[in-house]
Structure 1
Amino acid sequence: MFDAISIAGSGLSVHRQWLDSVSDNLANANNVTSTDENAFQARYVVAQAGEGNSGVRATGIEFGDPEGRVVHQPDHPLADEEGYVRYPDIDMSEQMGNLVMAQRGYQVNAAVVDRAKETYQAALQIGRNQ
């Protein structure tokens, strides 16, 4: 029972980090920089299964392309001499899909923790009644 709580807790941690990175990506998807600067780099959580019953853990963050995408916007204050600016290369539909998956994973792991806690409390009640 304690393994279930520990494993689900590790899943909660990784899914929270995933939610944080997706929300960061979504919040910065429209950041504009000049063409002589790097674009905002999307963040992607790298997760790895632990040994035995240790659950999962985030092993790092991978970053998207600093080149981003160059867009012609001659009226933008950051535009270069040719009228180009740089945006992050973030696909909103991909990020929204990631957001749904991370949210569902978080919800499932939270439900496992709740069920394990309820089971533990029921076992304690059985022990008290005898």
Structure 2
Amino acid sequence: MSEFSNALSVSASGLKAQSQRLRHVAENIANADTPGYRRKTVAFNPERGPDAKGRVETGPVRLDRSDLRRIYDPAHPLADESGHVAGSNVDLMIEIADAREAQRSYEANLRMFDQARQMSSSLMDLLRR
């Protein structure tokens, strides 16, 4: 029965990690037009400890240090002397691709969780007979 709880634990950690990733992708998309906004990324790390057994956790949130876009808008209050404003470094195509990948990974973890739950339930039904 312990293996079922391990499978549920591993898939639950994957669900949590992917949901956090989706949260950062949504934040990046929401701030794509915010001047000076830097894209946030999150890495997954294996969970440490004697009972981790394949679980993941999210690492620290990192800011993308690529160059900010320069937008010519001399009427903007944040424009410099040349009339340029520092835009964000969010690329919507990358964010959409990251969102799709996180969504698919989330769904895969959800299916694994459901399968382990169904197998555990079936085993309990067999043991009751």
Q: Which amino acid aligns with 1:43?
A: K
Query: Partners of 1:27 and 1:66 in 2: how far apart?
Result: 19
Question: Which one-letter code corresponds to 1:40 in the other structure?
Answer: Y
> 1:36: which partner in 2?
none
1:2 maps to what in 2? 5
More deviation, 73-82/102-111: 73-82
Contact kept, 8 Å, 1:66 with 1:88, in 2: the verdict is no
Deviates more, 1:68-77 or 1:103-112: 68-77
8 A contact 1:40–1:87 mirrored in 2? yes
- Report the more deviating stretch, 111-120 or 64-73: 64-73
Superposition deviation, residue 8 in structure 1: 0.5
In 1, Cα distance between equivalents of 2:113 and 2:37: 36
Q: Hey, what does 1:120 align to over in structure 2?
A: 120
Looking at structure 1, the residues matched to 99 and 22 of structure 2 have their Cα atoms a distance apart, in angstroms, of 6
Equivalences for residues 63-102 of structure 1 within 5 A:
63-65=63-65, 68-102=68-102
Partner of 1:35: none
TM-score (norm 2): 0.86
| Equivalent residue number for residue 13 of structure 1 | 16
The alpha-carbon deviation at position 50 of structure 1 amounts to: 3.0
CA distance in 2, matches of 1:66, 1:75: 26
- Separation in structure 2 between the aligned mates of residue 16 and residue 124 of structure 1, nearest angstrom: 31
> Could you list the runs of 5+ residues in structure 2 that have no partner in the other structure?
none
TM-score (norm 1): 0.86
User: How many residue pairs align between the two structures?
Assistant: 123
1:20-60 CA distance string (max 9 Å, x none): 0100001001112xxxxxx1121101111235614111121
For 2:94 and 2:66, locate their aligned partners in 1 and report how far apart those are by CA, in whole Å. 18
Secondary structure at 2:43 match in 1: strand
**Partner Cα separation in structure 1 for residue 59 and residue 77 of structure 2:** 39
Q: Offset of 1:67 from its aligned partner?
A: 5.5
Percent same amino acid among aligned pairs? 27
Structure 1 segments unaligned to the other structure (5+ residues): 33-38
Give me the whole-angstrom Cα distance separating, in 1, the residues matched to 2:67 and 2:46. Answer: 32
Query: For the aligned residues, what is the CA RMSD?
Result: 1.7
